[in-house]
Amino acid sequence: MSEDPVSDLPGVDDVGEESMFNTADIVVFVLFVVGLVVFFFYKKYQESTTVTIKPISLQQLKTGIIESGLDIVKRMNDSGKRMVVFYGSQTGTAEEFATRLCKEARYYGISAMSADPIEYDIETLKELKEVEDHIAVFLMATYGEGEPTDNAVQFHEFIKNEETELHGLNYAVFGLGNTTYEHYNKMGKDTDELLEKRGATRLSELGLGDDDGNIEDDYMNWRESFWADVCKRFGVFKSEDNLHIRNYKLVEHENMHTSKVFKGEMGYLGSYGNQKPPYDTKNPFMADLTVNYNLCSEESDRVVFHCEVDVSKARIKYEPGDHIAIYPENNSSMVEQLGKRLAIDLDQVISLDCIDEFSSKKNPFPCPTTFRTALTHYVDICTPPRSNVIKDLAQYATDENEKAFLLKLSSNEGKSQYNDWVMKDQRHILQILEDTPSLQPPIDYLLELLPRLQARYYSIASSPKIHARSIHVCAALVRYKTRAGRPAEGVCTGWLEKMIPSETDQFKIPVFVRRNQKFRLPRRATVPIIMIGPGTGLAPFRGFIQHRAAIVREGRECGENLLFFGCRHEKMDFIYEDELKEFEKEGIIQLYTAFSRDTDKKVYVQHLMEQEALKLWELLEKGAHVYVCGDAKKMARDVHKQLLDIIQEYGKMDKTEAETYVIGLENSFRYQKDVWS
């Protein structure tokens, strides 16, 4: 073989010794030049189309919340706004208050916009001082145990950053919380304090709303002082000329194809028929409800559902401790009665279009849709309406006595009467219409005023280690008679009760999973856990126990698992009894039960803790994690007090030292709560 491999190739002639390049060299050179040219133009193209991608934080990855980058200042300047009301909302109340505050701003000659912080590049808040005489209001709800709502996570991280500078920003804060929770109104307090630390100027004192008391009163009182401070600072005054201002106009559609009409979808037209991940608050998965039965005996006056939804087609991942969100439907009979009472064609296709062309919220709910769908899926018709709704509706009462009565309910002088007749009697909008026969508001205005129907969250009662294809729910039916003697029921549980799947009857429900990073099993399975969950507070612990049972059955080492469970009657209300006793028989759990109505002296879970105090202390000293789930108002407080007593007695500590010990447990995620009021 020749030393020049190219010359041995067929079709290549020998090249004379005087040639500097052979044919192969020329080919390589040409390819090199072409490559350079391509690289040069590609580089130029890259430079001209480069998009700066901001880093994604760990919190964003956990929550799935990624900023969309809208410029706050540009939006305000383009739309001629000088006031922006940000809301951190989980259940819709803060968003509702934001809408009201923006509407009220018009009475003072101020153009305002509400803003969901998740939709904006929150960094542009630094430049808000460029807007002359601007006002930034923050209505911040606290979620769970002192956490920001999902849509306020980024904002909270932004103001916590010590490098954030907000000099020249004029602000006011109203917090929404619940005194039954340990970290009452933490987000409202944090926001007010951190904004001041970052150099912003407080326009009005912090307001705190208590949902366990009367958050409407709290908001009204704060709002009065807020507007008084705004008038004093900016020299504006209130005008009553535009007392009833509309945000949306009604458009009726004729002969619109059903494919263009929303039928209950939360964000994307046709998404219920063409399901695509990821599944979240605006794109829930339509899951098959495969199992639904009552866990209590027939003798019990309580109903607790065990439901199973099939998520195999969605490939939804979950962990024990997570929540499943369910979008319910309003009672169909109530919807029909509202349609009849307001004399409307429920199947008329309509849109409610925002009058403000610059508003980021073009419709109050997905449109176009029908009146029936709006009343069934999108607006809350069961919660007693707030006083501002009654005030705006009063103008449509033709009877002067009824009009005067409604106006009084919505006035400062009528607060106690509003609390009595509306709140304590639990009157929803249909009952108010029934009790004031001359009241005949336009249906579109009613839809504008009513708050959005929210998803209901339930602790997941299963483990993916055993039930990877389904998610289990344990929920108590809410049904009672109001003080006025009228029947009432929970929107979601009343809806679920009617759906019993069979071969002939099949049901789908819209769901998504909300991660709960603050209620997690220890990473190491050998760490002991103490679970305290009476009633349906057992739900997440069923998932915990299944998870650890799977580990034991795999032949792996597992720490001790103590469960303190309570209910009224062992024979009637002991949910998952057979399953728990089987786990106990296997040695997977140590079960402690309290049946409060089966003994002369009522015994609750905190009393069981007292009986096992030494064992609990020894486990705490070994690194055990403590979990509490259930009622926040009484049970969680009693359990917390009992835990402090145990630590004081067996840890030989005084009260202050015991409290410091508990704070240490909380900070190291060894004391976690999933409670509700």
| pLDDT above 70 coverage of the chain, percent | 89
pLDDT digits 0-9 by tens, 177-211:
999 888 899 999 999 999 999 999 999 999 999 99
pLDDT at residue 239, rounded to an integer: 83
Amino acid 145: pLDDT: 80
Question: With 90 as the cut, is the pLDDT of residue 356 above it?
Answer: no
Q: What is the pLDDT of residue 66?
A: 41
Two structure tokens written together for 172: 């006011």
Residue 243, pLDDT score? 60
Find the range with the poorest average confidence among 3-12, 403-412, 423-432: 3-12
Q: How confident is the model at residue 36 (pLDDT cuts 50, 70, 90)?
A: low
> Residue 474 catalytic?
no
Q: What is the pLDDT of residue 144?
A: 80
Residue 93 and residue 141 in contact, taking contact as beta carbons nearer than 8 Å:
yes
In this predicted structure, the answer to whether residue 353 has a pLDDT above a threshold of 70 is yes
**In terms of pLDDT, which residue wins out, 562 or 25?**
562
Q: What is the pTM of this model?
A: 0.86
Residue 189 token pair: 């307090």
Residue 379 forms beta bridges with which residues? 452
Question: Catalytic: which of 102, 367, 558, 629?
Answer: 629
β pairing state of 285-294 and 507-514: antiparallel
pLDDT over 80 (residue 58): no
Whether the Cβ atoms of residue 396 and residue 437 lie closer than 8 Å to each other: no
For residue 614, pLDDT beyond 60 = yes
Examine the pLDDT at 67 and tell me if it is beyond 50: no
C-alpha atoms less than 13 angstroms from C-alpha of 403 in its C-beta half-sphere: 9
Cβ neighbours, 10 Å, residue 273: 10
Q: Is 598 a catalytic residue?
A: no
Say whether pLDDT at 168 is over 90: yes
Phi-psi region of 321 (alpha: psi -120 to 50; beta: other; left: phi over 0): left
In the predicted structure, residue 439 carries a pLDDT above the cut 70 = yes
Active site annotation includes 459: yes
Strand partners, 479: 489
* % of residues, the chain, pLDDT over 90: 85
pLDDT score for 149: 94
For the stretch 120-151, pLDDT in tens is 999 999 999 999 999 999 999 999 888 999 99
Q: Is residue 502 flagged as an active site residue?
A: no
Q: Which of 71, 354, 435, 676 is catalytic?
A: 676
Q: 22-36, 355-369, 388-402, 660-674: lowest mean pLDDT where?
A: 22-36
Confirm if 516 and 676 have CB atoms less than 8 A apart.
no
> Which pLDDT belongs to residue 46?
41
Query: Nearest to residue 631, comparing CAs of 671, 677, 595?
Result: 677
Q: Which helix (H) or strand (E) holds 171?
A: strand 170-177
> Given this model, what pLDDT does residue 464 score?
98
For residue 648, is pLDDT > 90?
yes
> DSSP string spanning 368-404?
SEEHHHIIIIIB--SSPPPHHHHHHHHTTB-SHHHHH
- The one catalytic residue in 459, 462, 463, 470 is 459
Contacts of residue 309, defined as CB under 8 A and 6 or more positions apart, other chains included, come to 287, 288, 289, 290, 324, 470, 471, 473, 509, 511
Given this model, what pLDDT does residue 19 score? 39
Judged by average pLDDT, the poorest of 36-50, 79-93, 586-600 is: 36-50
Q: Could you report the per-residue pLDDT of 283-313, keeping only the tens digit for each? A: 999 999 999 999 999 999 999 999 999 999 9
Helix (H, G, I), strand (E, B) or coil at 565: strand
Mean pLDDT of the chain: 90
Rounded to an integer, what distance in angstroms lies between the CA atom of residue 667 and that of residue 614?
23
